[in-house]
Structure 1
């Protein structure tokens, strides 16, 4: 199963898809599963398909050996003339984001590494945070420091922070157009034990949040220029064989 680990050095690509028709989510998942199940691209490590919960859509968490392998995939006729047209037909939004894992922290009862798998029952949250490129490293540090209080939040399982490198969207001819500028976003991938815990975390009732949490959130809010968030369940995953990686 795939793991989120800053030490593996993989290029992590997070592809977000949305549709305005909930029934199209089934087709999105089906099309993504078909690509994942036949993947044999040079440098491809793993793909994990997520089904949207709060909003209709999907996310694919993909690990690559490096940028050259990814660009080779994007330059291929199959991607340009089959994959992109299919997703244009059934989506209203596509964003392909290159990232690198900066940190991945877990509640102590979650073991030594962050695993993503349909065999787990995680309620997964993916946040795309806009940030000025000059402030990106500071935002990552602020997000990392949140572990000090997150570990005591009921239902929290893990939080991984990924540095945004480049974001693109496919055009009608299959070519990719830049979205924003390089290094202008950060991805937060978090796992919870369920919707109830996550909703309670987002909108706590009663007393004002503890000082450490409030300060952390204030610093985050001061740096973030835009927020895009959806919740997911992992529905499918596949990794390259060890022999293919040799």
Structure 2
């Protein structure tokens, strides 16, 4: 069962695919399910597939034992000759993001930890924040201030920040109860947020050079232990 845990030490990879249409999204999902169901790579721990909600696209959330194991997978002939060309054919953009977990927080009701499973009904928000390497640390420090206020916001379940290994981005992976409740939070006027939260948001914006965001539902998951 995939869990987001600060103690696991895994390398987390986000494979992001943007597609032009929902049918192309389904083609990517079908191809990814086949890869996940047949995964048997040294160091591979789990893969969790997400389908785009607000915009067509997919995310595969993959946990690896180490960067060396992932590199061996990337250098494989099948991956180079079949997998990469297929996804570039189906998707408008492809990003393979290697990350390390930097911070996680969840609602007190999630006492069993943060699960990412298709059996759950999470409305998942994933945001990639591009930044300069010299600003990544400050951006993370700003974003990962403990936030007790958000635990009081209706619909909030969890949020986790991941540090891009190459130093050029930060990933925010968040779970909410529904689109309606997330949208209410996302569009909340700044003056209705606590002063400390407003200051942090303003500082973070000044450190971000680009933003890619979409919302998802988990559709498929498998781990090496299954």
Q: Sort the TM-score into its range (normalised by shorter chain).
A: over 0.9
- The alpha-carbon deviation at position 13 of structure 1 amounts to 0.5
The CA distance in 1 between the partners of 2:9 and 2:191, in whole Å, is 42
The CA distance in 2 between the partners of 1:200 and 1:150, in whole Å, is 13
Instruction: Indicate the SS of the match to 2:152.
Output: coil
Q: Which residue of 1 aligns with 2:107?
A: 107
Indicate whether 1:209 and 2:193 are aligned.
yes
| Contact 1:149–1:212 under 8 Å retained in 2 | no
Indicate whether 1:154 and 2:154 are aligned.
yes
- The alpha-carbon deviation at position 103 of structure 1 amounts to 1.5
The CA distance in 2 between the partners of 1:185 and 1:61, in whole Å, is 16
1:185-200 to structure 2, matched below 5 A, reads 185-200=169-184
- The alpha-carbon deviation at position 207 of structure 1 amounts to 5.5
Q: Which residue of 1 aligns with 2:97?
A: 97
RMSD, aligned α-carbons:
1.4
* TM-score normalized with structure 2 length: 0.96
- The alpha-carbon deviation at position 137 of structure 1 amounts to 1.6
1:58-97 to structure 2, matched below 5 A, reads 58-97=58-97
Deviations 1:96-133 (A, max 9, x none): 00000011110111114211100110000010001121
Q: How many residues align?
A: 226
Unaligned runs of 5+ residues in structure 2 are none
The CA distance in 2 between the partners of 1:29 and 1:46, in whole Å, is 16
After superposing the two structures, state which structure 1 stretch, 136-145 or 41-50, moved more: 136-145
The CA distance in 1 between the partners of 2:133 and 2:210, in whole Å, is 13
Unaligned runs of 5+ residues in structure 1 are 166-181
After superposing the two structures, state which structure 1 stretch, 210-219 or 72-81, moved more: 210-219
- The alpha-carbon deviation at position 208 of structure 1 amounts to 3.4
The CA distance in 1 between the partners of 2:153 and 2:58, in whole Å, is 27
- The alpha-carbon deviation at position 212 of structure 1 amounts to 2.4
| Contact 1:156–1:191 under 8 Å retained in 2 | yes
The CA distance in 2 between the partners of 1:119 and 1:108, in whole Å, is 20
Q: 1:206 to 1:95 in 2, by over 3 A?
A: closer
Structure 1 ranges of 4+ moved more than 3 A: 205-208
| Contact 2:14–2:97 under 8 Å retained in 1 | yes
Deviations 1:53-75 (A, max 9, x none): 11101000000000111011011
| Contact 2:13–2:98 under 8 Å retained in 1 | yes
Q: Which residue of 1 aligns with 2:50?
A: 50
Instruction: Indicate the SS of the match to 2:41.
Output: coil
* TM-score normalized with structure 1 length: 0.88
1:29-44 to structure 2, matched below 5 A, reads 29-44=29-44
Q: Which residue of 1 aligns with 2:205?
A: 221
